[in-house]
Amino acid sequence: MTIYLKLAWRSIWRNKRRTLITISALVFAVIVSVLMQSLNRGSHELIIENMTHLQTGFVQIQDYRFQDEPSLDNSFFFDESLEKEWLAIDDRIQWVLPRIETFMLAAIDGSTRGALVFGVEVEKEQNFNQLKDRLAEGEFFRKDEYAVVISTGFSERTNLGVGDTLALIGQGRFAMSASGLFTVRGIIDHPLPDMNSQTIYMPLPVAQELLSADQMVSSVLIGLETDRHTQSVADALKNGISDEELAVFTWPELIPELLELLEFDLVGAYLMSYILYIVIAFGFFGTILTMTLERIKEFGILISVGMGRGRLAITLFLEVLVISILGVLVGAAGAWLLLYYFYLNPIELTGQLAETVIDMGWEPVLPMSFAPDQFYSQGIIVFFIAMVISIYPIYKIFSLDVIKASRV
C-alpha cells in the first residue's frame, strides 16, 4: 500500500496545474456549502434563542392542566427548596426561573389596553436572557417595589413613559379581584414583535400578592447552555420530579408552530443545497474526466508493459482520494476562517431590509451559525460526491482497449 501511495502522490503532482484546479474546485464547494448552511442555521438559531430565552425556556415545568387551560387556578407552589431539588436532578441545568403570567387590562387616562403581565425575578432573568441589557429607558424595579417595566411597543400604544402611573385590572387566583397602581420604572426593547406590543414585567412577589397567588407560579423555565441537551434534560426532569400534577415540556412541544415554520423554511434550504451539490458534482466530474482522458495513453503503456489493471485502478483511486482529502480539509479550514471573521465582524444590513429586520426586533445583521458539526457534515457530503465520481476513472481502466490507447 505504501508503494501505491507513493505512486499516487507522484502522479498527482506531475501536473500541478491540473491538481490545483481540482483541489480548488473542492475547496470552493466546501466553503460555499458551509456558508449556505451557516446562514440558514444562523437565522434559525437566532429565532430559537429569542423564543427560548424570553418566552418558553428550553424546558418548562407547568401544572399538567395549564397547557390546555392557561389559568392562574392551574398554578403550582414553588419555593427555594424546590428550586434546589430541581437543580440537582441534572448537572446541565444552569438556571431555574419561576414566572407567573396572566392577561390584564391596563387603564390609562380613561382608556384600556390588553397587556400580558409577567411576574419575574429580575436577577435570574438577567443571568439567563440578559433582560436588563434590553432596557431602552429608565431602570429595572427593586424586588418588592410596586413598579413595572413595559415594552417599547406597549409604551407607544399607551403613550406611557418612565415615571408615569399605570393601573392594572384583572382577575387573580380563584376569581379574586386583582387591581393596583404601578409606577413605570423603565421601558424595554423586546426582541419578539408580538410580545413587544403588550408585555409588562413586575417583581414576582408583587405579582403573586396582586393575583392572590402567594408562593404560586404558573410556570418554571429551565435554562440550559445549549439547545442540544433539551430532550435529555427534559427526560431527566420527568423521572426526577415526584409531583404527579407537574408536567415537563420542551420548547418544540410548547410552540410547535415555530418548529413547523422552521422545518418549512428548511425545505427551500435543502433544495438550494441539492442544486449546489449537483453543480459541485458536475464541476468535479469535469476535472476528473479531463484528468483521465489526458492520461489514456499513459494507462495503455503501463498496462502493456505488465502493470495489472487492478493495481492501476487502486493507484488512480488513491489519487482521487488524496485530492479529495486535501480539498475537503483546506475547504473546511477556509470556511472556518471565513465564518470566524464574519462571527467577529457580522455583515450589516442596510436600507429597507435593515428597517424590516429592526421592526421585527432583531439586529440588522446576517446571523451566521458557528456550530462545529456543519464543517464536517458538509465536508463529508462533498467527500462522498468525490468518491462516487472516482468510479469513472476506475471503470475506464477496466474497459480500456490497450492497443487503441497506446496509439493515442
Average pLDDT of the chain to the nearest whole number: 83
Q: Based on the structure, what is the number of domains in the chain?
A: 2
84 beta partners: none
107-128 mean pLDDT: 87
| pLDDT above 80 (res 278) | yes
| pLDDT above 60 (res 189) | yes
| Confidence at residue 343, expressed as pLDDT on a 0 to 100 scale | 76
CA distances from 62 to 66, 72, 231, 254, 345 (A): 6, 11, 16, 11, 41
Q: Is 63 within a domain? A: yes
Q: Is 242 within a domain? A: no
Q: pTM of the predicted model, to two decimals?
A: 0.69
Is there a contact between 358 and 32 (Cβ–Cβ < 8 Å)?
no
- Which band of pLDDT confidence, cut at 50, 70 and 90, is reported for residue 355? low
| Confidence at residue 1, expressed as pLDDT on a 0 to 100 scale | 64
Q: Is 248 within a domain? A: no
Q: Say if residue 41 is in the same domain as residue 67.
A: no
Q: Is 118 within a domain? A: yes
274-300 mean pLDDT: 80
Structural domain harbouring 68: 59-223
Q: Say if residue 136 is in the same domain as residue 96.
A: yes
- Which band of pLDDT confidence, cut at 50, 70 and 90, is reported for residue 316? confident
Q: Say if residue 63 is in the same domain as residue 105.
A: yes
Q: Say if residue 45 is in the same domain as residue 66.
A: no
- Which band of pLDDT confidence, cut at 50, 70 and 90, is reported for residue 120? very high
Q: Say if residue 46 is in the same domain as residue 63.
A: no
363: cell is 439586529
Is there a contact between 331 and 394 (Cβ–Cβ < 8 Å)?
no
Q: Is 234 within a domain? A: no
- Which band of pLDDT confidence, cut at 50, 70 and 90, is reported for residue 96? very high
- Which band of pLDDT confidence, cut at 50, 70 and 90, is reported for residue 352? low
Q: How many angstroms separate the first and last alpha carbons of the chain?
A: 30
CA distance 282 to 274: 12
> Cβ–Cβ contacts within 10 Å for residue 236, how many?
18
Is there a contact between 126 and 132 (Cβ–Cβ < 8 Å)?
yes
Q: Say if residue 204 is in the same domain as residue 263.
A: no
Using the 3D structure, point to which of 172, 203, 223 is the last residue of a domain. Answer: 223
Q: Is 13 within a domain? A: yes
Q: Say if residue 92 is in the same domain as residue 42.
A: no
Question: H or E element: which one contains 367?
Answer: none
Q: Is 244 within a domain? A: no
Q: Is 32 within a domain? A: yes
Q: Say if residue 46 is in the same domain as residue 115.
A: no
Burial of 91 (C-beta count, 10 Å sphere; 0-12/13-18/19+) = exposed
| Confidence at residue 233, expressed as pLDDT on a 0 to 100 scale | 92
CA distance 174 to 192: 31
CA distance 262 to 178: 39
Task: Specify which of 33-47, 166-180, 381-395 reaches the highest per-range mean pLDDT.
Answer: 166-180
| pLDDT above 70 (res 345) | yes
Q: Say if residue 371 is in the same domain as residue 398.
A: yes
Q: Say if residue 30 is in the same domain as residue 103.
A: no
Q: Which of 154-163, 202-211, 287-296 has the lowest mean pLDDT?
A: 287-296
Q: Say if residue 127 is in the same domain as residue 43.
A: no
Pick from 92, 75, 72, 36: nearest CA to 280: 36
Q: Say if residue 80 is in the same domain as residue 97.
A: yes
